[in-house]
Amino acid sequence: MKESEGNNQYRQQILTPIALQYVIQIVPKLMEEAFDAYNKQKFPRTYFQVSISEYTNSTAGILLSVIALESYRNLLCYHQHKPIQKHDVTTDLCDLLLQNNQPDLYEKFHELLDELFIVRDVIAHNHMFLLDVAHDTDWQMTKYAAQLLEGYGDKKYNKVVNEESRTTRRLGLNVQPLLMSFEDLFKVLLVIDLILGIPNIILSNGLPLHIIYKTEKYWVNNLSELLTYYYVQIPNKDFMVDINKLSDGLRLDLNAFLSGELFINNICPKCSSLGFKRHSRILSCISCGYEIKFEVN
């Protein structure tokens, strides 16, 4: 054997989809910080902003998570030997994952992705709003208006954002940055969880994100478990209802195409409420109390 060949015996080819690691390494920490701040709020919330800690951690988490989707697109393109379309990650992802043969599904999926990427744009390009706020002498808010300044937003923004509520039409994500909260981060991750659950040629069961993260109570092993950990503690009952409704709709639209352990499919076998399996040894419903117990030897 020649010396040069011997030196190459451990040669490897390694891809660098680095942003996927953001969801694994950094986003769970941001989520924990955002949840701490969120948990201190009083609901229903009627203010023009959440706390600085909540919106900074939530927006950073959203930004890194959506960037990770671009990383995922690049990985899929490489494996399918397709060039990336530099300016349209959403269309690329729909084409790569759905192969254009499901027109209804394609449209719905594109909408969801557009909402995520619009929120990313608002954060990354720092869309500026002018807030007009007034309080009475007891510091109760008496007026609130948010105006997106001229020059920000585009055709796609106008299509997916409800002008009046300043939220996206399907997912209800806030676009006024000071209102971007734990709830918005939660919804973004819920959608990313299901996007990664679409089978593709790299892995027949989608791409599992092996998030190994120690919460205050136990270790979680994937995105679905991380979402469930927070879901069962959510202090805002209206948001829980919202998440159940959203998950029901997504399950109805997309379930035939999804696989793996996904948050939207993590439902109680008795009453169908979300958040049943918290991890491999805790299976318990917060709505009806049904649980599966394990015998301890």
Quick check: helix, strand or coil at residue 12? coil
Which is nearer to Zn ion, 188 or 285 (by Cβ)?
A: 285
Closest distance of CB 277 from Zn ion, Å: 12
88-121 burial string, b = 16+ CB within 10 Å, else e? ebbebbbbbbbeeebeebbebbbbbbbbbbbbbb
Residues in Cβ contact with 11 at an 8 Å cutoff, skipping those fewer than 6 apart: none
Which is nearer to Zn ion, 131 or 288 (by Cβ)?
A: 288
Apex 264 CA angle, 258 and 266, nearest 5: 105
Does residue 41 belong to the site contacting Zn ion (CB under 5 A)? no
Closest distance of CB 189 from Zn ion, Å: 23
Closest distance of CB 284 from Zn ion, Å: 9
Identity of the residue numbered 197: G
Quick check: helix, strand or coil at residue 154? coil
Element (H, E) at 282: strand 282-284
Closest distance of CB 269 from Zn ion, Å: 8
Q: Which of residues 240-269 bind Zn ion (CB under 5 A)?
A: 268
Residues in Cβ contact with 35 at an 8 Å cutoff, skipping those fewer than 6 apart: 182, 230, 233
- Please choose, out of 5-13, 98-106, 137-145, 283-291, the segment that lies near Zn ion by the rule CB under 5 A: 283-291
- Please choose, out of 114-122, 181-189, 249-257, 277-285, the segment that lies near Zn ion by the rule CB under 5 A: 277-285
Does residue 291 belong to the site contacting Zn ion (CB under 5 A)? no
Which is nearer to Zn ion, 51 or 233 (by Cβ)?
A: 233
Binding residue for Zn ion, selected from 270, 280, 291, 292, defined by CB under 5 A: 270
Does residue 125 belong to the site contacting Zn ion (CB under 5 A)? no
Does residue 290 belong to the site contacting Zn ion (CB under 5 A)? yes
DSSP one-letter code for 267: B
Which is nearer to Zn ion, 259 or 287 (by Cβ)?
A: 287
Binding residue for Zn ion, selected from 287, 292, 293, 297, defined by CB under 5 A: 287
Quick check: helix, strand or coil at residue 274? strand
Which is nearer to Zn ion, 15 or 288 (by Cβ)?
A: 288
Which is nearer to Zn ion, 218 or 290 (by Cβ)?
A: 290
Closest distance of CB 271 from Zn ion, Å: 3
Binding residue for Zn ion, selected from 212, 271, 281, 291, defined by CB under 5 A: 271
Give 3-state DSSP helix, strand, coil % of the chain, rounded to 5: 45, 10, 40
- Please choose, out of 86-94, 120-128, 146-154, 287-295, the segment that lies near Zn ion by the rule CB under 5 A: 287-295
DSSP one-letter code for 49: -
Whether the Cβ atoms of residue 139 and residue 133 lie closer than 8 Å to each other: no
Which is nearer to Zn ion, 159 or 245 (by Cβ)?
A: 245
- Please choose, out of 60-68, 88-96, 259-267, 284-292, the segment that lies near Zn ion by the rule CB under 5 A: 284-292
173-198 burial string, b = 16+ CB within 10 Å, else e? bbbbbbbbbbbbbbbbbbbbbbbbbb
Q: Are strands 277-279 and 141-148 parallel, antiparallel or unpaired?
A: unpaired
Which is nearer to Zn ion, 177 or 275 (by Cβ)?
A: 275
Residues of the shown chain interacting with Zn ion in the complex, contacts defined by CB under 5 A = 268, 270-271, 273, 285, 287-288, 290
